[in-house]
A and B are shown apart, each in its own frame.
Chain A
Amino acid sequence: MNTFKINHRTSSGYDVLDLYGELDAHTASQLEDSLKLLIDSQKSNIIVNCKDLDYIASAGLGVFMAYIEDVRSSGGDIKLTNMNDKVYNVFDLLGFPTLYDILDDESDAINKFLSEA
């Protein structure tokens, strides 16, 4: 059945959310809760690792849309990494690559954050 899981860790001082499984209108609230929790504790440099994200529907993309402005207005960003082709294709269809940093891996995301600091 529907499996989705999020793991939170820190890497070089950045907050990383590792996503696993399928992100749809049923599971999007879990991602929303995790992002809210970070934002509420003033964390604004967030990396979302999509390596094990197998599927995303627009409800999942909606979560990134709803919170990116909060994070950016406090000087941070949400950077997305390690997307498989199928997941990237959905982001691409909606024009997200021009609005979000979508990077190959975590070290690229960290370097991007460092270059922006």
Chain B
Amino acid sequence: MDNLTTYQITVAASTKNLARVREFISEHATSEGFSPQTVADLCLAVDEAYTNIIKHAYKFDASKIVKIDLEFDDQKLSVRLRDKGESFNEDKYVMPDISEQIKNKRRGGMGIYLMKKLMDKVTYDSSGNENEIVMLKKRE
């Protein structure tokens, strides 16, 4: 049986809390022995996921909350973010063409791409009344 360690934080859906969320991830991942570069990657992936929830699921309504669970076992770290806002339709997601977006003075869509690049596995589930994104990172 794996040794499991779990941590949880519940935060209001506000960009004001981004630094706090990054600190939560960084503190625990560092003490679990992840390298500084991996810790930086984890913080960015969680930042992007949480920012997407604030912007798209809750449309900047800071009265809503986001639950973040962080779980470590012998092989990996798993981080889960849950919200009850508008669901994200993964099928409609297209990887952004940055040079095309620049021409059109547009931005966005980069968060999901970064999350997938930085983590080993990203899954999204919006069955029931809750949206859940789970990201896994193997131990080095």
Interface residues of A (CB under 8 A from B): 1-3, 22, 24-26, 55, 57-59, 61-63, 65-70, 86, 89-90, 93-96, 99
Q: Are A58 and B110 in contact (CB under 8 A)?
A: yes
B-chain residues with CB within 8 Å of residue A26 when the two chains form the complex: 15-16, 18-19
How many Å from the CB of B25 to the closest CB on chain A? 12
B-chain residues with CB within 8 Å of residue A95 when the two chains form the complex: 98
B-chain residues with CB within 8 Å of residue A86 when the two chains form the complex: 37, 40
Q: Are A22 and B19 in contact (CB under 8 A)?
A: yes
Using an 8 Å CB-CB cutoff, how does the interface string of B15-56 with A read, 1 for contact, 0 for none? 110111010000000000000010010011001100100110
Partner of A66, one of B22, B43, B107: B107
Of the four ranges (under 10, 10 to 19, 20 to 34, 35 or more), the interface on chain B belongs to 20 to 34
A-chain residues with CB within 8 Å of residue B113 when the two chains form the complex: 94
Q: Are B107 and A2 in contact (CB under 8 A)?
A: no
Q: Are B20 and A57 in contact (CB under 8 A)?
A: no
Please give me the residue from chain A that is nearest to B115 by CB atom.
A58
How many Å from the CB of A85 to the closest CB on chain B? 8
In the assembly, what is the distance between CA of A25 and CA of B110, in Å? Answer: 13
Between A and B, 7 residue pairs with Cβ closer than 8 Å are A25-B54, A26-B19, A55-B40, A58-B114, A63-B107, A65-B106, A68-B102
B-chain residues with CB within 8 Å of residue A63 when the two chains form the complex: 107
Please give me the residue from chain A that is nearest to B37 by CB atom.
A86
Please give me the residue from chain B that is nearest to A62 by CB atom.
B107
How many Å from the CB of A75 to the closest CB on chain B? 17
From known contacts A2-B18, A94-B114, infer whether A25 and B107 are also in contact, taking CB-CB under 8 Å. no
